[in-house]
Chains A and B, each alone.
Chain A
Amino acid sequence: MQIIIIGGGEIGYALAKTLASDHELCVLDTEPGVADRFGLLDVELLTGSGTSSSLLERARVSTCDLLIGCTGLDEVNIVACSIGSQLGCRRTICFVSKEDFVHTPEGRESLNEHFGIDQVVWPEAQLADAIERIIMAPGSVDAGVFVGGEIRLLEFRLGSDSPLVGRPISALDLPYGVVIVAVHHGETTSIPHGRTVLDPGDKVVLMGTRKGMKALQGQLAPDAAKRRLRRVTIIGGGDVGLRLAQHLDSEPGIQLCVVEHDHARGEMLAATLGNALILEGDGTDLSLLESEEIGRSDVLVSVIDNDERNLLACLIGRQLGVGSVITRVSTPANLRLFERVGIDVALSARGAAVASVLHQIDGGRSSLLAVLEEGQAKVIELTVPTGFPATALRNLGVPNGAIIGSIVRGGQVIVPRGEDRIEPGDHLLVCATGSSAEEIRELFTTGQ
């Protein structure tokens, strides 16, 4: 595949690094300085603006299969994608960070219609949504929702007193409609089977119906599920902070506080948010945090545009007694570091966005729903082809590194057991590690 990447920043580099070996890559950036980094990769590097049609022609845009606009400027990305599609590029993906027109489905459609942009990736929004899900699922560590909220994915870190610890999974008393799809033990992520025994400190990923998950949360985090009013503090009212605050603001049972250092931005937040308390000040200002009793928050989210300050704000929050701390990470290398020093959840907006783009490039008929543990495992959706013979799950021969978490059949969700049958037309939500994702995809392709 011939791919043009506009913008050699963090996102561009992350994409290029993975794609360079299998695809024909051309990277455009206005800064000649990026050559230092890209020089090690097998890519063609052009210096200049992605909005220049002559430069795009030099990058052979007319024959190119995919153009990705991922500079730091939304406008540049949009214009570059638009010119690219005019000049004959087959498919365009545009990264945006703040533009209002992607808020609504109509806005996205008009991007497609008027600018020829096939897909908009909005990492900040995805990040805010991910954080919201974590907050709304008390006690869990990471979460996702699929099939319009019918299926949820929760990640729990197990304490030593957890009821899931010490017994084989087959002997656990899990609520109906819930299945453990992945276990993260130490540094490795694996797909569990009936004999797997969980240890304290493990992270488990569970998939299940909405009802089943509610019952599960009651079992695993009885305190959090019982508490009605929860205090949430957001440090930083930028794009991510605002979007997150808007979602939480109207949520009953959440008492929201946003700390923002910029006066004008603070006033804007106060005007936009109906119930939240906006504090003007620095998220690392100890006296402010103390006088406002931030320590009594159940969750502290730090989403400033600076990893170090985020870390500091989170550590201060933790020191003051906040229940759990969540932060955004810009530099992917910091992810592991942050979790090591006691941040409960560190999320990278770009990481998730890059993973989803990569999957689209490689993925065939399946679509990627979630990436777990930085790609060690992923949740994909498969459609059983029409010619596929109906087979009981136990006879299907699902590879070891994969597990079918749920079956969606005509709007109904089934959390399968061994005797359940897989029928043509079913949508399967599969959690798989490494190459097993390919294997299970093969399984349904060969059956055709």
Chain B
Amino acid sequence: MRLSIIIKVTGGILRVFGLMFLWPMAVVAYYEEWTDLGGFALAGVLAASIGQAMWLAGREREPDLRRIEALAVVAGTWLVVALLGSVPYLWVGLAPVDAVFESMSGFTTTGATIFTDFSLFGRGLLFWRSLTQWLGGMGVITLFVAILPRLAMGVGRIFFAEAPGPTDEKLTPHIRQTAVVLWRLYAGLTLAEFLALWVAGMPVYDSLCHAMTTLAAGGFSPHALSIAGYDNAAVEWIICVFMFVAGVNFALQYRALLGRPGVLVRDEEFRAYTGIVLVAALLVTGFLWHAGGELTVAFRHGLFQTLSILTTTGYASVDFQLWSDQTRIILLGLMFIGGCAGSAAGGPKVIRHVLIGRYTLTELRRTLHPRGVLPVKIGGKVVPDGVMRTVLVFFLFYVLMFALCVMAVVLLGTDLITGISATMATLGNVGPGLGQVGPMANYGHLHPLSKLVLTGAMWIGRLEILTVLALLRPEVWRSAHWRTPARG
């Protein structure tokens, strides 16, 4: 592992990242909330100068990334980006732990918040909060791969290391072109939602923020009561549609949009995803209806909350903390599924569940036919053993991480429901949990150490765990050196 290259590539990304702070500054200027301007300016200058310094420090002329170096770049970039992103929060007076929590929650598209009183914060800051999710939704690195013409050789490695779920689809022969295509699609969908929400009667500013956080499957809302605060059925239906879209593999959507809608039906993950949405939504609707609600309203909230939790968006159209245990356990279960690989959604991903299911059935079949050749197949194609193994290991670590975080959070003094759901909601990048971190509550009252643990959970959850864990191997650091020794 060559540190100079990691520094160089990370720096290259950071200095461009600094430009992102211009957007909230424009919003600040528009609404003339000049007190917040300093935070963004400071953060922008910091990012650009640190990035430039790192770029210069890593003096490799033609950086080519090896696999482990790409992992380090991804993990490092996300961490530094989240830290720099917390500067505006610090500026308005948040405690450092809270600021980092909020920033990480933004970039990882979690949507868990420590904000209690939204009226304390200006529109610029709330816009920044939504923008962080939008940037994180398609992937910070995907964005910079798209923007920067020649970041490094082997940039494909970081591209895929960041991509959510086991996917390695290249839509075009060039990785950069793929990144551009994905970002265009993402931006186009965001624009479509923005216009739809605006037409449906939401204010322009709110429409923009919600469009960004829906497509990112993030869930931050500039409204303290989330979507429930608008009390507008049309808005909820529109958001339902775009949450569903945000949970679908963007590469698949791109191919479907190219005029081959059949690929959607043939895709096993998409079918499973749609099935889960329908079954869960109908179950929730049934329970709500049974508890004495009007059927159409029950269905609207049932579908909305199912999509919001499954796609790990985390909006609330209603305070589902007040729902029955039957419905809440369904929502908790959905947190453990997540959206499709290659989408903006978090969680363990539908495809991994499908794979684990297939694998289990195959192993059962193997006991009946000990000498059978029984491969696991998806869409008629054999899943290589190596992929299957990483999926299994991913689940093991996911469960292990989950258990460790729950232990930590509960030991630090929360109740069990809160601890379990808060961990699930942060590790899966969902956002709101149940109990004291329910949709109308927030994470602000947790122990500072708990907040740190959960911040880590968000980071690890977004980068899909193994990426980060691989970096903890001692041999990675033993072999770390500043620069490649000159070859004789």
Chain A interface (Cβ < 8 Å from any Cβ of B): 260, 263, 266-267, 269-271, 274, 277-281, 288, 291-292
Check A279–B381 contact: CB distance below 8 A: no
Interface string of B370-382 (1 = CB under 8 A from A): 1111110100111
Q: In the complex, which of the residues B370, B371, B375 contacts A271, with contact meaning CB atoms closer than 8 Å?
A: B375
Complex A-B, nearest 10 residue pairs according to Cβ-Cβ distance, in ascending order? A278-B373, A266-B373, A271-B382, A270-B373, A270-B375, A281-B371, A279-B371, A280-B373, A280-B371, A279-B372
Check A274–B372 contact: CB distance below 8 A: no
Q: A274-B377, A279-B372, A280-B372 are in contact. List 20 more A-B contacts (CB 8 A).
A: A260-B373, A266-B373, A267-B375, A267-B382, A270-B373, A270-B382, A271-B375, A271-B377, A271-B381, A271-B382, A277-B369, A277-B374, A278-B373, A278-B374, A279-B369, A279-B373, A280-B373, A281-B371, A291-B370, A292-B369
What is the predominant secondary structure among interface residues of chain B facing chain A?
loop
Check A288–B371 contact: CB distance below 8 A: yes
- Report the number of A-B residue pairs with Cβ-Cβ less than 8 Å: 35
CB distance from B424 to the nearest CB of A (A): 36
CB distance from A194 to the nearest CB of B (A): 54
Check B371–A267 contact: CB distance below 8 A: no
A281 to B372, CA, bound (A): 9
* Nearest B residue (CB) for A292: B369
Check A274–B373 contact: CB distance below 8 A: no
A277 to B369, CA, bound (A): 9
A263 to B375, CA, bound (A): 12
CB distance from A79 to the nearest CB of B (A): 35
A229 to B377, CA, bound (A): 24
In the complex where A279-B369, A292-B369 touch, is A270 in contact with B374 (Cβ < 8 A)?
A: yes
A278 to B370, CA, bound (A): 11
CB distance from B434 to the nearest CB of A (A): 42
CB distance from B371 to the nearest CB of A (A): 5
* Nearest A residue (CB) for B375: A270
Check B380–A274 contact: CB distance below 8 A: yes
Specify which chain B residues have a CB less than 8 angstroms from the CB of A288 in the assembled complex: 371
Specify which chain A residues have a CB less than 8 angstroms from the CB of B381 in the assembled complex: 271
A/B interface sample: 15 pairs, CB < 8 A? A267-B373, A267-B375, A267-B382, A270-B373, A271-B375, A271-B377, A274-B380, A277-B369, A277-B372, A277-B374, A279-B372, A279-B373, A288-B371, A291-B370, A292-B371
CB distance from B269 to the nearest CB of A (A): 18
A280 to B375, CA, bound (A): 12
A266 to B380, CA, bound (A): 16
Specify which chain A residues have a CB less than 8 angstroms from the CB of B372 in the assembled complex: 277-280
* Nearest B residue (CB) for A265: B373
* Nearest A residue (CB) for B381: A271
A260 to B375, CA, bound (A): 15
CB distance from B479 to the nearest CB of A (A): 35
A270 to B375, CA, bound (A): 7
A271 to B370, CA, bound (A): 18
Specify which chain A residues have a CB less than 8 angstroms from the CB of B380 in the assembled complex: 274
User: In residues 21-67 of chain B, which contact A (Cβ within 8 Å)?
Assistant: none
User: In residues 343-382 of chain B, which contact A (Cβ within 8 Å)?
Assistant: 369-375, 377, 380-382
CB distance from A297 to the nearest CB of B (A): 14
CB distance from B358 to the nearest CB of A (A): 13
Specify which chain B residues have a CB less than 8 angstroms from the CB of A271 in the assembled complex: 375, 377, 381-382
A280 to B373, CA, bound (A): 6
- Most chain-B Cβ atoms within 10 A of its Cβ — which of A260, A269, A271, A288? A271
A224 to B374, CA, bound (A): 30
CB distance from B380 to the nearest CB of A (A): 7
Specify which chain B residues have a CB less than 8 angstroms from the CB of A291 in the assembled complex: 370
Specify which chain B residues have a CB less than 8 angstroms from the CB of A269 in the assembled complex: 373
Specify which chain B residues have a CB less than 8 angstroms from the CB of A278 in the assembled complex: 372-374
Specify which chain B residues have a CB less than 8 angstroms from the CB of A277 in the assembled complex: 369, 372, 374
* Nearest B residue (CB) for A237: B373
CB distance from B382 to the nearest CB of A (A): 4
Specify which chain A residues have a CB less than 8 angstroms from the CB of B373 in the assembled complex: 260, 263, 266-267, 269-270, 278-280
Specify which chain A residues have a CB less than 8 angstroms from the CB of B370 in the assembled complex: 291
CB distance from B256 to the nearest CB of A (A): 24
CB distance from B376 to the nearest CB of A (A): 10
Specify which chain A residues have a CB less than 8 angstroms from the CB of B377 in the assembled complex: 271, 274
CB distance from B232 to the nearest CB of A (A): 48
Interface string of B414-456 (1 = CB under 8 A from A): 0000000000000000000000000000000000000000000
A274 to B372, CA, bound (A): 14
Specify which chain A residues have a CB less than 8 angstroms from the CB of B375 in the assembled complex: 267, 270-271
CB distance from A332 to the nearest CB of B (A): 34
CB distance from B476 to the nearest CB of A (A): 34
Specify which chain B residues have a CB less than 8 angstroms from the CB of A267 in the assembled complex: 373, 375, 382
A288 to B371, CA, bound (A): 8
A274 to B382, CA, bound (A): 10
Interface string of B381-406 (1 = CB under 8 A from A): 11000000000000000000000000
